[in-house]
Amino acid sequence: MFEPDPMPARLLLSWYDAFARDLPWRTPPGSQARPDPYRVWLSEIMLQQTTVAAVRPYFAQFTARWPDVDALAAADDDAIMAAWAGLGYYARARNLLACARAVSLRGGFPDTEEGLRALPGVGAYTAAAIAAIAFGRRAVVVDANVERVVSRLFAITEPLPKSRPTIRAATDAITPVMRAGDFAQAMMDLGATICTPKGPDCPGCPLNAGCLGREQGVAAELPRKLPKKPRPDRRGTAFLALHDGAVLLVRRAGRGMLGGMWALPDDGWAAGQDGDGMAPFTADWTRADGTVDHGFTHFALSLSVMRAEVATRRNLPEGQWWPLDRIAEAGLPTLFAKAVRLALCDTAD
């Protein structure tokens, strides 16, 4: 469908050599030093559906505390989940630990897409990115930025997601054998800084001369997307129980929403259902003013918060009592951290 064309890669790599973003998981463009596969893998997992700005402090914290894959593999599950808190998409954290242990057990990362895809939590895109960036393999790396750049460059007007096979074929046609990792990162940088979703800087783009979307006057409209289905609204209730200056936290089930995380007890809300509003145990519950509104990928949640002082810790759900003055250290998911703040703010008032 698309004839191989080396020109876009030449132009793009020249631009990348001059304007590459300085990111802590990268080596400079054209460097003879091989990127650390651990840092490449860690960054790619963290960057899934997450911005570079949000990832930077987490990446710094993780690499300072666990400088290599063996250190991460030996880490306690709770420590990893707590360190990940606030970054979202918590299945990534569980897969991160499982993958680290698999890699440590085999003595290092595999250096091929096929081998990488066999690891927990490593899908097609992530395997291609690691193979290209960490090991210099020629791999077709397509993320959201690349989808946008290639859709515009080739004027691919079929809406996503149906256009993905065409986008991949077009990307394959311009992916070089040499400097495949730099090319993949250059495409990401171009999409993040020049070929942006809104107001693309076409005059400043190194690929503008051959961009069919620009020539046809449709670049800013691409890629086209099918209308999204509206997210359903869900309702639930969280329960903040206090005793002797500590708050009760419970472990959520290993699978499902926020799986394996410490959280406040709740009324059983889930992605596909509202909570039943029932408290997990009897206490003198009072409702905090307001709700916590939180967006998940497939639904929006409005969470009410109940609080109570309990006279004893006996006959309550199994969990841990965390000192309230150190609650920020508990590694709560953002939703439940908001719920605690709402309850405490209401108490202070």
Give the residue numbers marked as catalytic.
Answer: 44
Q: What is the DSSP letter of 209?
A: G
314: exposed, middle or buried (Cβ count in 10 Å: 0-12, 13-18, 19+): exposed
**In contact, 324 and 332? CB cutoff 8 Å:** no
Residue 165 has a CB neighbour count (10 Å cut-off) of 11
The Cα-based distances of 32 to 20, 28, 282 in angstroms read: 16, 9, 65
**In contact, 58 and 14? CB cutoff 8 Å:** no
Residues near 289 by beta carbon (within 8 Å), at least 6 away in sequence: 346, 349
The Cα-based distances of 215 to 9, 202, 207, 273, 314 in angstroms read: 20, 10, 12, 48, 72
As a whole number of angstroms, the distance between CA 171 and CA 191 comes to: 14
As a whole number of angstroms, the distance between CA 341 and CA 78 comes to: 22
- How much helix, strand and coil, in percent to the nearest 5, is found in the chain? 45, 15, 45
Tokens 């949000």, residue? 54
Query: 55-58: which pairs have CB atoms within 8 A and are 24 or more residues apart?
Result: 55/87, 56/24, 58/83, 58/84, 58/87
Q: Where are the beta strands (DSSP E) in 183-287?
A: 233-243, 246-251, 262-263, 286-287
As a whole number of angstroms, the distance between CA 157 and CA 224 comes to: 6
**In contact, 267 and 275? CB cutoff 8 Å:** yes
